[in-house]
Amino acid sequence: EPEVTQTPSHQVTQMGQEVILRCVPISNHLYFYWYRQILGQKVEFLVSFYNNEISEKSEIFDDRFSVERPDGSNFTLKIRSTKLEDSAMYFCASSVPRDKETQYFGPGTRLLVL
């Protein structure tokens, strides 16, 4: 069964550095999302992406964050000038046009900012 994959599974970085989190959505999916879950807290929406542009973003998704679909398979989240509070599990999700409400999640990337 097709799955959303994410790399790396864990990422440790120094505060102020840039990180890129990678996702490979399910192949026929056209809607893409990033969510994050700070330890012990709720899963929070960051951004949705469709047709090579951001559809919607939350207040968390400030100008340090960016998303890109550099090719036909990858979907990336870049965080510049990382802060301690960016430490979280980051989930990528995707969905198909005929059922975009049902989002399929990847296993997540645990980001630790020191």
Partner 1 sequence: SQQGEEDPQALSIQEGENATMNCSYKTSINNLQWYRQNSGRGLVHLILIRSNEREKHSGRLRVTLDTSKKSSSLLITASRAADTASYFCAHSPVSYGNNRLAFGKGNQVVVIP
**Of the two residues 20 and 89, which places its CB atom closer to partner 1 in the complex?**
89
**Cβ pair 69, 75 in contact under 8 A:** yes
**Cβ pair 24, 40 in contact under 8 A:** no
State the minimum distance, in angstroms, from the CB of residue 46 to partner 1: 9
Identity at 55, one-letter amino acid code: S
State the minimum distance, in angstroms, from the CB of residue 10 to partner 1: 10
Per CB under 8 A, residues contacting partner 1 are 4, 31, 33, 35, 41-45, 48, 55-56, 58, 91, 93, 100-108
Bridge partners, 90 (sequence order): 36, 109
**Of the two residues 7 and 16, which places its CB atom closer to partner 1 in the complex?**
7
